Amino acid sequence: QLQLQESGPGLVKPSETLSLTCTVAGDSMSRSSYYWGWVRQAPGKGPEWIGSVRNIGVTDDIIYYSPSLRSRLTISVDASRNQFSLRLNSVTAADTAVYYCARPSGAYPLIHSFDVWGQGTLVTVSS
């Protein structure tokens, strides 16, 4: 059974970098048929897609970023550890949200329709 688990600091200071890792159990990320995604949900707001990644080779990944976050965002895969990560630079209070990792319900090219989600981790941006 596929399981996803987010990990990382729950509190980040303004202007610093938010870093989260998603550990995948029950499927291999190496040369995966799936995109693996990050979605966040700010308090009282709807989901917001952050980006998605698919590992297609030892050093090759296909990555899509949200246009609104692209300038501050890096998503990467460590297939050997079955993990993928996000780094969001120069955070502000507007980045406070529950961050989820998730996998779509079908193989590529499907990049949305997320049917497997991590439990989510609350990240608060505050000094």
Q: Which residues bind other proteins (CB under 8 A)?
A: 37, 39, 41, 45-49, 52, 64, 66-68, 100, 102, 105-106, 111-115, 117-120
**Length in residues, the chain:** 127
**How far is 54 from 97, CA to CA, in rounded Å?**
24
For residues 3-18, one letter each, b for 16 or more C-beta atoms within 10 angstroms of the residue's C-beta and e for the rest, the string is ebebebeeebeeeeeb
Q: Measured from the CB atom, is 15 or 107 closer to other proteins?
A: 107
DSSP state of 119: -
Q: Measured from the CB atom, is 60 or 115 closer to other proteins?
A: 115
The two tokens of residue 54 are 């698919």
CB of 104 to other proteins, least distance (A): 9
CB of 98 to other proteins, least distance (A): 9
CB of 58 to other proteins, least distance (A): 26
